Amino acid sequence: MKFQLTLNLVLAAFALLAHAAPISHNEIATKSAKGLRLLSLAEGVDPVWKTEDEKLELMRAGIKFFDVTEVYELEKLAPVENDFSVAATFPSPSHQSALAPILAAVSTANMQSNLNSLTAFNNRYYKSTTGASASTWILNTVKSITSSRSDITSALYSHSFVQSSIIVKIPGKVASTPVTILGAHMDSINLSSPTSGRAPGADDDGTGSVNLIEALRVLVAAGFTPSTPVEFHWYAGEEAGLLGSQAIATAYKNAGTKVKAFMELDMSGYFKPGTTEVMALQADYIDAGLNTFLKALITTYSRIPWAMDIPCGYACSDHASWYKAGFPSSFPYEAITGNDNPNVHSSTDTTSVNGFSWAHSIEFAKIDQDRVLELESVFKLAVVSKVGELTPLLNVPSVL
């Protein structure tokens, strides 16, 4: 008994050595008031304080992190409940005939038009006025798409910075939970001059953002009434440490909201010319069962095969925020890392970048010759349309 107690004390002392004491409320209040940010740079390692300049240097060096300044205390309010040793299970795809007309209605012209509007903002940086205006633009766009449906709600989700996230909720016909969430990030960044520099963010993450807008449009047009709720999220501040998605995922966890599945679309419009076109499934910070389901969906509904990406790493995109909150997450990406878009986070992330292969235009081969010129501008979005096909599928329309 005595030995046991001593051993426990020794183990407790070791645990204290491995992890510093939790950061106090007072320390967070004082340091964040001075403009410091609390960054979590690796799994299981205590977060560290950095200045905004140091944070930007990390971003320029390509080092990913969660900026946990505002969620550190909130994350400790409720435990993470899901058991990651048990993969989530999902049914086999079985709604091919119901989905066929919905998928056929996905319009690359609409996506291009919406992408033109998003890239017209000088940048969509989370601290810039144009970044805030881009939030309002997305809100107005989704409100207009859903105006015929009084049951669907669209709202801004405010943060401590000027850019807001946007949440669209389609209620469940049978149950109010669990929720299926499709996400993309609406912000963009010019790493050399974040606040005022040009950052069209066409691919990162304009493509994922317009995939979601178009998926919402075709579902609403089809009278989509899911059995369990479906939500569409456009996150603010992803580039600055997954700010929007962490705030929302933590709030859902603390409210006891059950999430069935989360899928992130962050870049879907590019693959390196000469490489084989794939949908690259992220292999880490995801749910293996959800990935199995995604593989079946891609095999059933897309002309492009899936492939496993190399590990994306810690805090790679918004799916990591939902994973951290204990929910099944997934992230199909435009290409295997290395064959993805090299123009991100700069003024050259535009729709005219060389790299959207003509091979994608095969989808448009049936289009009238008169529209060949138009093809040149829309072929770039061919991959987008294919990933766009995925978005309605996570929660198949059991009630149409």
Ligand X SMILES: *[C@@H]1O[C@H](CO)[C@@H](O)[C@H](O)[C@H]1NC(C)=O
* Binding partner selected for residue 198 from Zn ion, ligand X, none, CB under the kind-specific 5 to 8 Å limit: ligand X
Closest residue by beta carbon to ligand X: 197
Q: Is residue 204 a contact point for Zn ion (CB under 5 A)?
A: yes
Which residue's CB is nearer to ligand X, number 68 or number 267? Answer: 267
Q: From the CB of residue 254, how many other CB atoms can be counted at a distance below 10 Å?
A: 15
Within its chain, how far is the Cα of 238 from the centroid? 8
Distance between CA atoms of 143 and 152, rounded to whole angstroms?
Answer: 9
Please identify, among the stretches 18-26, 75-83, 138-146, 186-194, the one whose residues bind ligand X according to the rule CB under 6 A: 186-194
Q: Interface with ligand X includes 192 (CB under 6 A)? A: yes
Shortest separation between residue 227's beta carbon and Zn ion, angstroms: 31
334 binds, among ligand X, Zn ion, none (CB under 5 to 8 A by kind): none
DSSP H or E run through 279: strand 279-281
Q: Are 186 and 124 in contact (CB under 8 A)?
A: yes
Tell me the window of 203-211, 271-279, 287-295, 384-392 that interacts with Zn ion (CB under 5 A). 203-211
Q: Is 198 in the site for ligand X (CB under 6 A)?
A: yes
Compose the 323-352 pattern: x for residues touching ligand X by CB under 6 A, - for all others: -----------------------xx-----
Q: By C-beta, is 78 or 191 nearer to ligand X?
A: 191
Answer yes or no whether residue 187 interacts with Zn ion by CB under 5 A: no
CB neighbour class for 227 (10 Å; exposed up to 12, middle 13-18, buried from 19): middle
Quote the least distance from Cβ 345 to ligand X, whole Å.
7
Token readout for 283 is 């292999």
Q: Do the beta carbons of residue 203 and residue 271 sit within 8 Å?
A: no
Stretch binding Zn ion (CB under 5 A), from 66-74, 111-119, 204-212, 332-340: 204-212
Main-chain phi, psi angles of 260, to 5 degrees:
-75, -45
Closest CB 198 distance from Zn ion, rounded Å: 17
**Sheet (strand 306-308) strand order:** 306-308, 279-281, 332-333
Nearest distance from residue 185's CB to Zn ion, in Å?
A: 6
The torsion defined by the Cα of 308, 309, 315 and 316, in degrees rounded to 10, comes to -130
Q: Which helix (H) or strand (E) holds 51?
A: none
Q: Is 203 helix (H, G, I), strand (E, B) or coil?
A: helix
For 287-338, where are the alpha helices, taking DSSP H only? 288-301, 319-324
Q: Among the candidate windows 62-70, 185-193, 276-284, 296-304, which touches ligand X by CB under 6 A? A: 185-193
- Smallest gap from residue 196 Cβ to ligand X (A): 7
| Closer to ligand X by Cβ: residue 171 or 197 | 197
Instruction: Single out the segment in contact with ligand X by CB under 6 A; choices: 57-65, 96-104, 176-184, 189-197.
Output: 189-197
* DSSP line for 19-37: SPPPPPHHHHHHHHHTT-E
Q: In angstroms, give the least distance from the CB of 344 to Zn ion.
A: 7
Going by C-alpha positions, the residue among 291, 303, 300 that lies closest to residue 333 is: 291
Interacting residues toward ligand X by CB under 6 A: 190-193, 197-198, 346-347
